[in-house]
Amino acid sequence: MSLSKFTEKDYELIQESYGQLKEAARRRCANQEELDVVQKAFDFANEAHKDVRRRSGGPYIIHPIEVAKIVVSNIGLGYKSIAAALLHDVVEDTDYTVDDIRNLFGDKIASLVDGLTKIKVVLDNEDRAKRQEDAYSESLQAENFKRILLTLNDDVRVVLIKLADRLHNCRTIDSMPEFKRDKILSETMFIFIPLAHRLGLYEIKSEMENIWLRYKEPDAFKEITALVNRNIEGQEKQIDEFIAPIQEAISKAGFNFEIRKRVKTPYSIWHKMQTKNIPFEQVYDLFALRIVFTPDSDRKESERDMCYHIFSIITGIYRYKPDRVRDWVKHPKSNGYEALHCTLMSEKGIWIEVQIRSKRMDDIAEKGIAAHWAYKQEGYLSENDSEMDKWLAKVKEILVSPDVNALELLDIIHNDLVSADITVFTPKGEQKSVSKGSTALDFAYGIHTEIGNKAIAAKVNMRLVPLSHVLKTGDQVEIITAENEHPKREWLQFLHTRHARNVVIDYFKGNKKEIVEIGRKTLSDKLESIGYRLNNDSAESLARYYKVPGRNVEELYFRVGLGLINPDPTIGEVLSARNTASKGPWYISMFNWRRDTQNQVAKEKKNYVIATCCRPIPGDAVIGIKAPDGTLTVHKKTCPVADSIASKHGDWVVVPSWGTNVDKTTFPARLSIKGIDRVGLLNEISRYISLVMGVNMRKVYLSTEEGIFEGYIDLSVHDRSALDRMIRKLSSIDGIQSVVRTDI
Side-chain-side CA neighbours of residue 733 (13 Å): 24
d(CA 447, CA 479): 10
- 545 CB contacts (<8 Å, ≥6 apart)? 571, 574
d(CA 209, CA 115): 25
What is the identity of the amino acid at 482?
A: A
Q: What is the CA radius of gyration of the chain?
A: 28
Among 493, 522, 512, CA closest to 554: 512
CA distances (Å), origin 326, targets 197, 331, 337, 349, 531: 18, 9, 12, 21, 55
C-beta of residue 88 within 8 angstroms of C-beta of residue 117: yes
C-beta of residue 712 within 8 angstroms of C-beta of residue 704: no
CA distances (Å), origin 546, targets 288, 400, 556, 559: 45, 23, 8, 10
Terminal C-alpha separation, the chain = 44
- 416 CB contacts (<8 Å, ≥6 apart)? 394, 395, 398, 435, 498
Go through 254-272 and write b for each residue having 16 or more CB atoms within 10 A of its CB, e for each that does not: ebebeeeeeebbbbbbbeb
Whether 677 is catalytic is: no
Handedness of CA 309, 311, 315, 321 (dihedral sign): negative
CA distances (Å), origin 445, targets 116, 213, 440: 36, 39, 9
d(CA 149, CA 647): 14
- Please identify which of the residues 12, 16, 43, 92 carries the catalytic annotation: 92
d(CA 364, CA 377): 14
State the Cα torsion 292-296-302-308 to the nearest 10°. -40
Order across the sheet with 455-460: list the strands. 463-465, 455-460, 477-481
Among 583, 615, 588, CA closest to 604: 588
C-beta of residue 417 within 8 angstroms of C-beta of residue 644: no
C-beta of residue 182 within 8 angstroms of C-beta of residue 655: yes
Whether 724 is catalytic is: no
Among 620, 623, 619, CA closest to 608: 623
d(CA 533, CA 572): 10
741 strand-pairing partners:
671
Cβ burial of 672 (10 Å; 0-12, 13-18, 19+) is: middle
288 strand-pairing partners:
262, 353
Query: How many residues are there in the chain?
Result: 744
d(CA 162, CA 157): 8
d(CA 406, CA 226): 42
Catalytic site residues? Answer: 92-93
